[in-house]
Amino acid sequence: LLLKLRVYNQEVAGLILERMSYKTSPLWPKNNLTFLYFSPHTESASARERQSFLGFAHFLSELGPHPSLPKLLGVVTVQTPLMIALEELEHRDLLSFLWRCRQAPCDMTERQIFTMGTQIGSALEYLHSKNYIHGNVKARSVLVGRDLSVKLWGLGLAYRRKTSTASVEYVEDMEMRKWQAPEALARQPLQQSSDIWSFGILLYEMVTLGEPPFPNIIASELLQHLQRVNTIKRPPNFNETIPTCFFLSGYSIIKSCCQWKPMDRVSLAELIRKLHSKETSANDQAVLRVTEPLDMEKYKRKAGYGESLNYAVL
């Protein structure tokens, strides 16, 4: 099996790689491109690192199939490099797709927002039914297929929280603060309702075509901000980029997710019901646009990436 691989995204247990060319193989059918989830430094990896990678593969296998989770195609464990093969989703991560939809010819309609939201909610409901907490719900953790269907990924934290304490994740969470629920920011135990908060932030990303949440708040000061405000405010250019009726319905759902107290957040079942209801009535012709070009450095700064470098974690 000859593979030419190119790295295109970082992921928690290794690297997601794109298979660029290959020979026909029973494991890798020629008409089916795949993601490869690759264990880095396999030759020098410790026994513990190998076991962790194989444990993640077993976790994915046990999780079972779901229409809104990437299909597990196979696992290479008998030779190096160790690999987990997942179905290819052509448009890759949702955040990059949202950025492309800021300008023609890529279009994102009101109905597509709610359709995608319903599919992500379905995947999250499936995880919760198995007593998992995703812990990493955001646009970068969602993959977009050719038909614009979406599938929830970023399951590394769910696996690691299954096998270790949540405090182990604090260093990594420093780069995800603006997507975390207040209880996570306060280092309190996560609940499934913590995923609901993050889902609201994901919806914010979707309706703004990839704007960072809490853009004017320093990530390290977010908890103090939320103690005063308790929820996420609408973006200043909301009415300029989004039709008023969509703004009212979309933002009301976001606020129902992003409530300070976990008990006050909408249930996942009710959230899915609301999204599906909006999906059936939403305009499939109204296209969302953002006129301001994407400034990657500005985005990273407002999203809080890199702030973790200012912290000493003991």
The answer to whether position 264 is within a domain reads yes
Question: In this structure, which amino acid lies at residue 191?
Answer: Q
| Distance in angstroms between the alpha carbons of the first and the last residue of the chain | 44
Q: What pLDDT is attached to residue 306? A: 66
Burial (CB count <10 Å: 0-12, 13-18, 19+), residue 72: middle
Residue 199 confidence (pLDDT): 98
Ranges assigned E (strand) in 22-177: 34-38, 72-76, 83-87, 92-93, 142-144, 150-152
Among candidate residues 34, 56, 87, the one where a domain is terminated: 87
Please check whether residue 51 is in contact with residue 82, taking contact to mean a CB–CB distance below 8 angstroms.
Answer: no
- Rounded CA-CA distance 268/250 in Å is 16
Residues 126-144: b if buried by 16+ CB within 10 A, e if exposed: bbbeeebbbbbbbbbbbbb
What total of structural domains would you count in the chain? Answer: 2
Q: What are φ and ψ of residue 51, in 5° steps?
A: -65, -40
pLDDT score for 101: 92
Same domain flag for 62 and 110: no
What local confidence, expressed as pLDDT, does residue 268 receive?
98
Out of 71, 87, 103, a domain closes at 87
What domain range includes position 135? 92-306
Tokens coding 217: 């708040």
User: Look-up: residue for tokens 């003991």?
Assistant: 314
The shares of helix, strand and coil residues in the chain, as percent rounded to the nearest 5, are: 45, 15, 40
Same domain (yes/no): 145, 208: yes
What was the pLDDT predicted at 29? Answer: 40
Phi, psi for 150 (deg, rounded to 5):
-125, 155
Same domain for 81 and 126?
Answer: no
Do 193 and 124 sit in the same domain of this protein?
Answer: yes
Alpha-carbon gap, residue 239 to 168, rounded angstroms: 41
Q: Mean pLDDT for each consecutive 10-residue tract of the chain (314 residues)?
A: 34 34 35 51 70 88 93 82 84 94 88 96 98 95 95 92 59 73 92 97 94 91 91 71 64 94 97 94 85 87 71 32
DSSP 168: G
Residue 193 falls within a domain, yes or no? Answer: yes
Q: Model-level pTM greater than 0.85?
A: no
Q: Identify whether residues 159 and 295 lie together within a single domain.
A: yes
Residue at a domain's end among 51, 71, 87: 87
Question: Is 209 found in the same domain as 103?
Answer: yes
Q: How far is CA 206 from the centre of its chain?
A: 11
Amino acid, single-letter form, for residue 200: G
Residue 19 pLDDT: 36
Q: Where does residue 200 fall: left (phi above 0), alpha (psi -120 to 50 degrees), or beta otherwise?
A: alpha
pLDDT at 161: 84
Antiparallel, parallel or unpaired: β 83-87 and 72-76: antiparallel
Q: What pLDDT, on a 0 to 100 scale, did the predictor assign at position 238?
A: 60
CATH classification of the domain holding 111 = 1.10.510.10
C-alpha span between 207 and 220 (Å, rounded): 25
Q: How far apart are CA 142 and CA 137, in angstroms?
A: 8
pLDDT at position 84, please? Answer: 85
What distance in Å separates the CA atoms of residue 21 and residue 286, rounded to the nearest whole number?
39
Residue 152's identity, in one-letter code, is: L
Q: How far from the centroid of its chain's Cα atoms is residue 147's Cα?
A: 19
| Spatial CA neighbour of 22 closest among 1, 53, 52 | 1
